[in-house]
Amino acid sequence: MRSRRASQSSRFLQLDPAVFVMAAEELGFTLDDAQRRAVDALASADRNLYLWGPAGRGKSWLMATYFEALPTDRKRRIHFHEFFHDLHLAIRRNRNDLTAALGDLLGTLDVVCFDEFHVHDPADGKFIARLLPALLDRKIRVILTSNYPPQSLLPNPLFHDDFVPTIELIERTLTIVAVDGPVDYRTTSSHEAGFAAGLWVSPGSPKQVEQLGLNPPNPHEHMTLAPAGHPVYVRRAADGWLWIEFADLCGRTTAPADYLALARDFQKWVISNVPDLATAGREPAQRFANVIDVLYDRDVSPVFLATTPLDLLATGAHLPVDIERLRSRLGQLERLGPNTAELETGRALL
């Protein structure tokens, strides 16, 4: 298994822990004890890693800092949604040969970092049970971040027992580190750039839209895109901006592959007529959660024109899985309500 990876490869994946300390200082915070444990495990490069903990505790930041500081080009960081999509395509190209497909995607990489590893769907669980042994047999360091400890993967009691051998494989071959410090760092956002510069606007009235300097699309701007093969109806797609209705983005049969392709082409989004998720329906609500994951991961600046205040978006029944991660990520956004004073100068046009 991968724990016997040659020391020659691991030497190039080691880092001075001071890299993380200085990166944190530049952002104005000090590493907490849980983050320091993760830093020690990341910097040593001795084993594969599984970093888990509540939303906003710095797992993705730790991984990104490690990834950026590695003195090699033989590395890849990818959202698990995106890897799943790419791997299924590669398997079809290689006539259902998983090992060959992994070879196509990972080649001679020394390290691969997966963000947001989770298992909720039984079919995904069966596939991951095939994938992990093949992945861990490669001469490559594997780092995963997750909101769940291994024992909480595929929690559905009808299917969990079938996934236990895979959980045991994870616990046997990866170092498990809980990144569970006391601070949700997303609540300290300065709203300066990327996703954190986004806005949650309710009730999304014409007056608020005008205040933001947004021009609603004209009918002649409406079009149908096919970002990943599925038709997706949008109200505007021009000059780096995407304007799309919630019903068209999440109410129809769309998938993370569509959101990833759109996020690649458009760095600023307006999603209008966002309802409260308790009444949106289970599948649209889950698609919306997947959209947020992609926008956050790709650091897209969003404007949500919503029928409900953010505090009331995700309450009640029929909510998406990983609801705490959704709340944490949306909690970074600046909020504009019907009685909110105008935004600070320079924020209107994002």
Residue 313 in any domain: the answer is yes
pLDDT digits (tens, 9 = 90+) for 203-243: 999 999 998 999 999 999 999 999 988 899 999 999 999 99
- At how many degrees (to 10) do helices 160-173 and 122-136 cross? 20
**Residues 335/341/344/345 CA torsion (nearest 10 deg):** 130
pLDDT tens digits for range 32-81: 999 999 999 999 877 899 999 988 899 989 999 999 999 989 999 988 87
- State whether 210 and 155 are in the same domain: no
On whether both 109 and 23 belong to a single domain, the answer is yes
Are 111 and 243 in a shared domain? no
User: What does the pLDDT look like over 288-312, one tens digit per residue?
Assistant: 999 998 998 888 999 999 999 999 8
pTM tops 0.85, yes or no: no
Same domain for 153 and 195, yes or no, is no
Q: Are residues 19 and 144 in the same domain?
A: yes
pLDDT, tens digit, for every residue of 261-292?
999 999 999 999 999 998 899 899 989 999 99
In the chain, % of residues over pLDDT 90: 62
Sign of the Cα torsion 66, 69, 73, 78 reads: positive
343 within a domain of the structure (yes/no): no
Q: Which of 132, 156, 178 is the last residue of a domain?
A: 178
Q: Is residue 43 part of a domain?
A: yes
Q: Which pLDDT score, from 0 to 100, does residue 190 have?
A: 57
Same domain flag for 102 and 58: yes
Establish if 16 belongs to a structural domain.
yes
> Edge-to-edge strands of the sheet including 268-274?
236-238, 241-245, 268-274, 301-306, 199-201, 334-336
Rounded-to-integer distance, Cα 120 and Cα 156, Å: 8
223 and 172 part of one domain: no
How many angstroms separate the CA atoms of 204 and 206, rounded? Answer: 7
Residue 347 lies in a domain: no
Write the single-letter amino acid at 337: G
- pLDDT, residue 12, reads 66
Do residue 141 and residue 277 come from a single domain?
no
* Predicted pLDDT at 282: 87
In a domain, 342, yes or no: no
- For residue 183, tell me if it sits in a domain: no
Does 149 lie in the same domain as 8?
yes
Single out the residue in 151, 178, 205 at which a domain terminates: 178
Looking at residue 317, which CATH number applies to its domain?
Answer: 3.40.50
Asked if 41 and 174 count as a contact pair (C-beta separation under 8 A), the reply is: no
Residues near 345 by Cβ (< 8 Å), separated by ≥ 6?
none
Query: For residue 145, which of 69, 36, 50 has the smallest C-alpha distance?
Result: 50
* Residue among 203, 193, 195 at smallest CA distance from 333: 195
Q: Which domain holds residue 210?
A: 189-336
Measuring CA to CA, which residue among 301, 215, 304 is closest to residue 263? Answer: 301
In angstroms, the CA 61 to CA 33 distance is: 15
Tens of pLDDT, residues 99-153: 999 999 999 999 999 988 989 889 999 999 999 999 999 889 999 999 899 999 9
169 with 196, same domain: the answer is no
What is the tens place of the pLDDT at every residue in 160-186? 999 999 999 999 999 999 999 988 776
Distance in Å from the first CA to the final CA of the chain: 48
Sequence-distant (≥ 6) Cβ neighbours of residue 322 within 8 angstroms: 118, 147, 289
Q: What CATH number corresponds to the domain at position 6?
A: 3.40.50.300
Residues 150 and 230 in one domain: no
- Structurally, the chain folds into a number of domains equal to 2
**Looking at the structure, do residues 65 and 168 belong to the same domain, yes or no?**
yes
The CA distance from 246 to 228, in Å, is 18
Residue 236 has phi, psi (to 5 degrees) of -155, 140
Domain boundary among 122, 145, 178: 178
Residue-averaged pLDDT of the chain: 88
* Angstrom distance (rounded) from CA 76 to CA 105: 10
Answer yes or no: is 346 within a domain.
no
User: CA-to-CA distance for 265 and 267, rounded, in angstroms?
Assistant: 7
